[in-house]
Amino acid sequence: MDRPRGRPREAVLDAERITDAAYAVLRREGARGLTMRAIAARLGVAPSAIYHHLPFRAAVLAAVQERFAAGLDTSGFGTLPLREALSRWAWSYLRRLREHPELVQVIVEVPLAQTPHTSLMYQRVIAGFAAAGWPEESIIASMSVLETYIFGAALDSPSPDDVYAPRSSAQEPLLARTYAAFAASVDDQGERPRDALFRLGVESILTGLYSVWGSGRGWATAQPPRGTGE
């Protein structure tokens, strides 16, 4: 800002410091506030200075997302039974996305890429499947199904807990009744609805995957609903 006009004797920026600033801005201002100008302001630098280190905004987002992937909990793989390790991984994944729902939009904009930390994370998960004896052709697909569900669950994070709550019970009695029954049974256990849903989702998926691959039928199990038009 009050820096002289030419090149500084020592570099003020690098990709690391830009990522730090971006992460801080993201936490403070949300995804919409994560602008090049805001990052620059936090670094005490002109916006254009960032472009000497990262070529465009998407590269900044990718760096943020790479840092996110590094923080996921893969400690269960190799130390716990696979099913519990997967569950722990899934919950840590969701928890981190929920702490910073802004990250979801970032990841949607810049899908998880082939960055070192991300690759390392996948490798650990895959090693967990392999060590548990899963057939090689089932591993990538099973991991992907679970991860896909986690992303979907994270999408709901910014929205309120009662998206399915009907607005007028008079007009939609069935929706009202089933919603009330759901809410009551969740409340009985003192669990938040979205946690109950995620728990059901993860456990259903794991149960389903174990059933599909454990039955020996594998890819043949799941037949698409073709033949019944549109």
Partner DNA sequence: ACCTGAACACCGTTCAAGT
Rounded CA separation 139/195 (Å): 26
Using CB under 8 A as the binding rule, the residues of this chain from 138 to 167 that contact a copy of itself are: 138-142, 144-145, 147-153, 155-156, 158-159, 163-164, 166-167
Asked whether the beta carbons of 142 and 129 are under 8 A apart, the reply is: yes
The overall longest dimension of the chain from CA atoms, in Å, is: 72
37 binds DNA (CB under 7 A): yes
Query: Nearest distance from residue 23's CB to a copy of itself, in Å?
Result: 20
- Radius of gyration of the chain from its Cα atoms, rounded to whole angstroms: 22
Rounded CA separation 125/143 (Å): 8
219 binds a copy of itself (CB under 8 A): yes
Asked whether the beta carbons of 86 and 128 are under 8 A apart, the reply is: yes
Identity of the amino acid at 213: W
Specify the residue, 36 or 125, whose C-beta has the smaller distance to DNA: 36
HSE value, Cβ hemisphere, 13 Å, CA-based, for 38: 19
Using CB under 8 A as the binding rule, the residues of this chain from 83 to 142 that contact a copy of itself are: 84, 87-88, 91-92, 104-105, 108, 111-112, 114, 119, 122-123, 126-127, 129-130, 135-142
Q: What does 132 bind: DNA, a copy of itself, none (CB cut-off 5 to 8 Å by kind)? A: none
Asked whether the beta carbons of 28 and 20 are under 8 A apart, the reply is: no
Query: Nearest distance from residue 2's CB to a copy of itself, in Å?
Result: 36
Query: Nearest distance from residue 108's CB to a copy of itself, in Å?
Result: 6
Using CB under 7 A as the binding rule, the residues of this chain from 47 to 66 that contact DNA are: 47-49, 51-53, 55-58
- The piece of 37-45, 91-99, 135-143, 173-181 that touches DNA (CB under 7 A) is 37-45
Rounded CA separation 162/142 (Å): 30
Q: Which residue has the tokens 């893969």?
A: 74
Chain residues in the site for DNA (CB under 7 A): 1, 3-8, 11-13, 33-38, 44-49, 51-53, 55-58
